[in-house]
Chains A and B, each alone.
Chain A
């Protein structure tokens, strides 16, 4: 079965702190995507990871992919309130369609 598991489901962080969101998937893939969703809005693409060892960074967010461990991480550095949103990882298991994780709802407070 093609599955994508994400944790934690909910994350409440203080501004300035660091944290990591984890995304595990069930079988071989080298195409993984991270999306951000604000309440009532659609999905905004954050990162595209297409090979083992890929690392992408944008501002306070950094994503990495380990295809051997079937694991991707989204690391948040020195969180700020504007990062509050729901973050989804999604995997393409070589079928061109995306299987999404459950999402991580991030809340950053002062």
Chain B
């Protein structure tokens, strides 16, 4: 079946602009995660949605970052007033609750 999809695959933006990254999880997966992979920080957790529960936002690096999940399915990660240190690959994953996470192809964000 279809895996996790993310769009866009690449995004180049100017410093100070807002960006939106989209994630379509595997159908039926109740949990959705965002991670960030950068050279300096490795792979780090950002935010986690599970069903209708309040999201775990403990990994968001600043209040410029936010995410929402609509209808328990698609999620959007928004970065406001982008900075150069936001340049990274943003990975989305989904899982049946409490089980193995399946990762999408990622969005490579470059802030110039």
- Establish whether residues B102 and A45, one from each chain, have CB atoms under 8 Å apart when the complex forms: yes
- Asked if A98 meets B45 with Cβ closer than 8 Å, knowing A33-B101, A41-B105, A43-B91, the reply is yes
Name A43's contact: one of B31, B98, B99, B103 (CB within 8 Å). Answer: B103
Smallest CB–CB gap between A102 and chain B, Å?
A: 6
Tell me whether A97 and B45 are in contact (CB under 8 A). Answer: yes
A97 in contact with B59 given A88-B43, A103-B42 (CB within 8 Å)? yes
Residues of B within 8 A of A25 (CB): none
Closest Cβ neighbor of A43 among chain B residues: B103
Any chain B CB within 8 A of the CB of A100?
yes
Residue tally, chain B, CB below 8 Å to A: 23
**Pick the contact of B43 from A44, A95, A96, A100 — CB < 8 Å?**
A100
Docked CA distance A43–B94 (Å): 12
Number of interface residues of A (CB under 8 A): 18
A48: B residues at CB distance < 8 A: 99-100
A45 and B48 CA atoms in complex are apart in Å by 19
Select which of B35, B42, B48, B103 is within 8 A of A96 by beta carbon: B48
Q: Say whether A96 contacts B98, CB under 8 Å.
A: yes
In the complex, whether B50 has a CB less than 8 A from a CB of chain A is yes
B104 at the interface (CB under 8 A from A): yes
Within 8 A of A (CB), among B63-112: 91, 93, 97-106
A45 B100 Cβ-Cβ under 8 A? yes
Kindly state whether residue B14 has any CB partner on chain A within 8 Å.
no
Q: Which residue of B lies closest to A99 (CB)?
A: B45
Interface residues in chain A, defined as those with a beta carbon under 8 Å from any beta carbon in chain B: 33, 35, 41-45, 48, 88, 90, 95-100, 102-103
8 A-B interface contacts by CB (under 8 A): A42-B104, A42-B105, A44-B103, A45-B102, A48-B100, A90-B43, A95-B56, A98-B45
Binding site for A on B (CB under 8 A): 31, 33, 35, 42-45, 48, 50, 56, 59, 91, 93, 97-106
Top 8 closest pairs, chain A to chain B, by CB:
A100-B43, A43-B103, A97-B45, A42-B105, A42-B103, A97-B48, A48-B100, A42-B106
